[in-house]
C-alpha cells in the first residue's frame, strides 16, 4: 500500500506521522486491495481537517473527511469512520446476498417433483 501524507498550512510532528502510519497498518486486516492512500491534514477556520482517500482495486474510491479542534482527535475520529467504511466494504465482498439466477428453481421442475410424489 502506497501512503502519501500531506500537510497544508501546518507542520506535522513525528508523533502525528507515526499515529497516522499505525492507523494505516490497522486497515490491512480487512483484506482489501488498497493500492494508494492519500492523507491530507490541513488547517481550517475552527481547528484542523483530516482527509483519508483510499483507492481500492475494483471499487470506487473511499473518501473520509473529519474536522475537529484537536489534531489527534480528528485523526482518531477519521480512523474510526474509515474502519467502519472499509469493514462494510469487506463484508459486502465476503457475504453473498442471494443465490443468483442459477439457484432458482423453474416452475416445470417444481411441477415434475410434485407429480412424482
Cα–Cα distance for residue pair 117/55, rounded to 1 Å = 55
Its domain, for residue 84, covers: 2-116
Question: Over the stretch 78-107, which tens digit does the pLDDT of each residue have?
Answer: 999 999 999 988 888 777 655 555 555 555
Q: How many residues does the chain have?
A: 117
Residue in this structure with the C-alpha cell 481537517, named with its chain if needed: 49
Instruction: Give this prediction's pTM.
Output: 0.75
Overall number of domains in the chain = 1
Does residue 51 surpass a pLDDT of 60? yes
CATH label of the domain that carries residue 12: 3.30.160.100
Amino acid at each position: 500500500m502506497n501512503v502519501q501524507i500531506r500537510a497544508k498550512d501546518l507542520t506535522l510532528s513525528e508523533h502525528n506521522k507515526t499515529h497516522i502510519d499505525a492507523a494505516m497498518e490497522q486497515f490491512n486486516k480487512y483484506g482489501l486491495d488498497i493500492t494508494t492512500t492519500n492523507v491530507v491534514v490541513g488547517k481550517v477556520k475552527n481547528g484542523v481537517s483530516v482527509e483519508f482517500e483510499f483507492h481500492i482495486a475494483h471499487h470506487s474510491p473511499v473518501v473520509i473527511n473529519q474536522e475537529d479542534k484537536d489534531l489527534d482527535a480528528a485523526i482518531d475520529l477519521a480512523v474510526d469512520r474509515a474502519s467502519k467504511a472499509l469493514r462494510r466494504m469487506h463484508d459486502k465482498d465476503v457475504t453473498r446476498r442471494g443465490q443468483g439466477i442459477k439457484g432458482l428453481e423453474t416452475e416445470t421442475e417444481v411441477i415434475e417433483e410434485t407429480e412424482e410424489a
